[in-house]
Amino acid sequence: MAKKDVDVPSEDVVAKAKKDSEQRRGPFGRMVLFIRQVLNELKKVVTPTRRELVSFTLVVLVFVVIMMGIVSGLDFGFSALVNFLFGDPNLAI
């Protein structure tokens, strides 16, 4: 996946982070810094459009149905193999 310009930190962000790390902060200062950083990251979040949301949902549902089919097929196959190799104890006389 190609990097975007948003992924590359600018020099001011790096300089500010170094300056912040050099300062000694108390527990409340660290919590405030953490909350400020969380809010800054949340501002970068892009919500998908309705069309993208429907598309992503359909992709996930189709993938889940395919995986259910594969797992069910393997389960049926292995149970048939075990019954063939060891026999069905309910049928023994």
Q: Any idea where the domains of the chain sit in the sequence?
A: 9-45, 48-93
Residue 91 has pLDDT above 80, yes or no: no
Separation of alpha carbons 66 and 79, rounded Å: 20
Q: What is the pLDDT of residues 1-18, one digit of tens each?
A: 455 555 655 667 777 776
Separation of alpha carbons 9 and 17, rounded Å: 11
Separation of alpha carbons 93 and 83, rounded Å: 16
Q: What is the pLDDT of residues 65-83, one digit of tens each?
A: 999 999 999 999 999 898 8
CB of 33 within 8 A of CB of 20?
yes
Give the model's pLDDT for residue 63: 98
